[in-house]
Structure formats: C-alpha cells, structure tokens
Structure 1
Amino acid sequence: MTDLATPSSATDRITMYGAEWCIDCRRSKSLLEDLGVDYDYVDLESVPDGADRAKAISGRMSIPVIAFPDDTHVVEPSNADLRAKLVELGAISA
C-alpha cells in the first residue's frame, strides 16, 4: 500500500479513497492487504482534496471508493464483491 497525497499518474494502479474512522474502509483495506494486493491509499482525513476526488469518481459522498485500472469503481463494496472484481482484473486468482 502507498499513501498518496497527490493523484497518481499511473493508470495501472488500484486506488482506495477512505478514512480510518470508516468501518467499511477498514474492512476493505484489510481485505486488500490480506490478499496481498498492491494499491494506493488516499486518506481523506489528511489529503485536502481527497474527498472531492472520491466524489468526482463515484458521484457520491459514501466511502470507501475503490477505483480500478479499467476505469471502473466500487463504493462500499462487500468483501465478496471486492474479491470478485479483483479476480476479474487478474489481481488475484479465484
């Protein structure tokens, strides 16, 4: 995991927008780490425009927002949905 204060120019990265106080964010972050998925993390509490960037992606105020290299995203995904998306991307095996 890489903490990002500035937007990543790499389009082949998974980026998660979240906050430590958010239970769903902690759950998704834990799953990504347990699966060994390399991703960038934007902490909405410390990145001034992080919430605006997350809202621009999802159109919503809910977190986490997880953006994928294929220009898709999920908002508040269940572990099963996040795992399925990672399998679809080839980030993990089924």
Structure 2
Amino acid sequence: MTVKQSVLGVPDVPVVSETAALAMAEGVRALTDADIAAATTGVGGPGDQDGEPAGSVWCAVATRDTSWAVHRNFDGEPEQVLEQSVRCALEMLGESEKRFTG
C-alpha cells in the first residue's frame, strides 16, 4: 500500500487518472479539515510513464460540498510541466472561490 492510499485514501487505480487526482484532493481536504484543497498528478517527463505521455497531468480541487478535476497536456521540460501543473491547481482554486462563494 502506498502513502497516497494509506493516508489520503486513494484507491488502487492508475496514479495518473482523474480518480487518483480527485481522491488526493478529497483526502487532503478531509485530513486537514480544510474548506478547500487541491492536488495534481501526472507525468513530468522526460519520458512516458505507465502508458501516459510526458506532460499528461490531472489537476483537482475538493471543497466541503463538491470536487472536480481537469486533464491537461503540458509541453516542456519536467520543470516546466511542474510549473504549469502548479499554475493549473492555483487557477482551479481561484475558480472554485468564484464558483462557490458567489
């Protein structure tokens, strides 16, 4: 069992998946009793991983009432993919605030 599974409650699914991203965000939110949490999972590169191409990333946000995820295909070196992944999560957090707080 991985840390993601034992601590965050991620089911035994491919790590680069919508299910994993949502479970990570929901697990962090529940573990910390936060109002909102974000998570990302993906392949930074330079090569493919488990059949997923480099740059394939799932970003997810969980609130107390709902959760949602988006899939992105980012270009660039691993560091650039990481930066774009963080930006994706931050943008989703901002969008969640607009969606759910009016």
* TM-score, length of structure 2 as denominator length: 0.30
Q: Say which one has the larger Rg.
A: 2
* TM-score, length of structure 1 as denominator length: 0.32
